[in-house]
Amino acid sequence: MELVKRHTKRLRYILQHKYLFKIFCLFTVLFALVKTNFITSKSIYNISDTEFYGKVYKIKITEEKTTIYILGKEKLVVNYYDTLEEDISLGDKIYVVGNLKEPSNNTIPNLFNYKKYLSYNGIYYTLTASSIKKISNNTNIIYYLKEKIANHIANITNANEYISIFILGDSSLLDEKILESFRENGISHLFSISGMHISLFASIIFYFVKRISYNNYYNYGVVITFLLFYAILIGSSPSVIRSITMYIIFSFNKLFNLKIKKLDIMLIVLIIMLIINPFYLYNISFQYSYLISFFLVLYSKKISTINNKILKSFYTSLISFLISLPICLYNFYQVNFLSIILNIIFIPFVSIIIFPLSLISLIIPKLSIILKIATNLLQNISLIISKYHLGIVNFSKPHFLLIIIYYLFIILFLNNKKHIYIFFIILLHKYNIYLNPYTKITYLDVGQGDSIFIKYPYNKGNILIDTGGLINSSYSIAIDKIIPYLKSIGINQIDYLILTHGDYDHLGEAINLVENFKVKKIIFNCGDFNESEQNLKKILDKKEIPYYSCPKELNISNNKLYFLNNNNYKDENDNSIIIYTKINNFKFLFMGDASSKVEDSLIAKYNLQDIDFIKIAHHGSNTSSSKFFIDTINPQNCIISVGKNNWYHHPSNEVLNTLYNYCTIHRTDINGSIEINIKDNNYQIYNYKP
């Protein structure tokens, strides 16, 4: 106790020197930034290693595979695509044989970077396992309790997914559509264990402990011990660590009469957390949790002066919304303005009804039927709101400097009449696409397929050529790649979707695209419609989206696209739409999957010379790109859209040898997405390598 008092006196001395304390806080943040950006950790494993031992600390099972997280020499993510021969539980030691793989960076601009995400969590390789063998059963009491609680929750008949969320912090049982609706409506934070839940836990325990003892040192000690044990049990997420650290410091502040201000406590929490793990800076849950809490404390005096409860709830919700806005836009490129109202309704509903019912249902499972009724009501409301996308506004991904300026304006002006400047910044960012003078052409990495996006300056029009498509896969390129990319650069609609031909790797994602994004018009190639095109036409008729086939040219914002292939061939590839266009005197040619037969007819019919950028036909197959054709058009840059390690062995060596003599080759399997920015008579090429 004397040791604690001695250290608290030192802490009080530091806090009295405010400038010294703030400099120390700033130094801690800068140190974390330097460490995470310039000091890279290296894996202990070698890429050639094939045998691994480790203790299981997390398991996730889907229809496609079993993912097991193990801790051996370091953390590894183990992916197993077969049926496990024996039950694997948390804490078990296992022996794994397999091949290591280095995670990939995002190959499409602005999208989620899986490699960085894993590295922030101390994981540098994923492991594709060929066999998994259990060596010994769990002997750890924490894993044992967690497994028992998880099994008990799984046996509860009603709403066990919510009990799992609020007790173990595990949302894997929740239906993905419902979880997505929570995210879209801006209420998903209510379903992750955070300060609200920790405070309620602590209050319940303190209530009962206080009935036993009047000694506050003992009472707070019991509560803190429980919270620390609970943090270890559920896996210690950043938001949980932040909440518990705050509770401990607030407890010490009260017990030892330290008189530390709330804002200083928040800064102390920041220092402690960044010392524990500097990579918390990049954790979304920590960003949400810490920043919202920090600014609510900053404006607590203003909030306390509001006597009307509804108005106070609205003001609190508004501050939370404004603080979380840059985080939402940076990661998800959209925000739901209706969430300000939704949180006023759902926060008390979840905190007063659903969360306590989850705790009670864990002890008395029969009462879970009441929890089921309450959660069904919540889910249905959320699904209805998200179905019609009420309140959702898309924004481009903000620059980091703009985020800093935004938070400075929040600090300076939210408490006075100049807060209107904050909304001016939001509007300026929303419509900055109309100020962008660049033409952007992006050859998107969609694996073994094609998808090319053209955005004209000042948002005067945009075109998507093909959508890509993976056969026999539940993964959606449109939903997971193309649409998020378009949103990230501020695009709210596609003016023209051009489908070069009916092969699945070119139009397979068209239905997903038109179902989930605004498409104004669609252009098909010449020839008969195949089954995929017929299915798409039915959707277009239903949604009243106009479509055309076999056009000769397209004029969009005084930019002309010429469709060069109007013949009707028997082969679907040869019926590919071939587009020629000139952008700021740079010549572009998009060849679809046309063969050398079509190439010969183009040379005979058109004067195609000195092409600056050509999308090589048919992913670099030897059916196209003849030496005669390439020699005639004399390209400067050749782009090959092709999947990594594809079954067809594209591109062919024959084609590559031809191209090497004429142009710089850009390949999506090697370079990732290829982005060309054009302004005046200059262009820049950016690659997004895996």
pLDDT at 475: 85
Q: How much is the average pLDDT of 635-645?
A: 97
- Greatest mean pLDDT among 53-67, 294-308, 498-512: 498-512
The CATH code that applies to domain 51-138 is: 2.40.50.140
Q: Which helix H or strand E contains 260, and what residues bound it? A: none
pLDDT at 12: 55
* 0.85 surpassed by pTM: yes
Q: How much is the average pLDDT of 248-260?
A: 87
Residues 6 or more apart whose Cβ sits within 8 Å of residue 620 = 640, 642, 650, 651, 652, 655, 656, 667
Residues 6 or more apart whose Cβ sits within 8 Å of residue 569 = 527, 575, 597, 598
Helix 420-430 × helix 309-332 angle, to 10°:
30
Flag the least confident range among 191-195, 306-310, 380-384, 503-507. 191-195
Share of the chain above pLDDT 70, in %: 94
CATH classification (class only), 434-688: alpha beta
Q: How much is the average pLDDT of 88-115?
A: 95
Flag the least confident range among 22-31, 123-132, 344-353. 22-31
Q: Is the peptide bond before 103 cis (omega within 30 degrees of 0)?
A: no
Domain-wise residue ranges, the chain = 51-138, 148-397, 401-430, 434-688
> What are the tens digits of pLDDT across the range 119-146?
989 999 999 999 999 999 999 999 999 9
pLDDT at 413: 75
Average pLDDT score, the chain: 91
51-138 and 434-688 have identical folds: no
pLDDT at 639: 98
Share of the chain above pLDDT 90, in %: 71
**Do the Cβ atoms of 88 and 69 come closer than 8 Å?**
no
Beta-carbon neighbour count of residue 313 at 10 Å? 18
Nearest to 189 by CA among 100, 319, 111, 286: 286
**Helices and strands in the chain: count of H runs, count of E runs:** 27, 22
Helix 355-363 × helix 368-387 angle, to 10°:
150
Confidence of residue 33 (pLDDT cuts 50, 70, 90): confident
Residues 6 or more apart whose Cβ sits within 8 Å of residue 684 = 676, 677
State the sign of the Cα–Cα–Cα–Cα dihedral 413, 419, 420, 422. Answer: positive
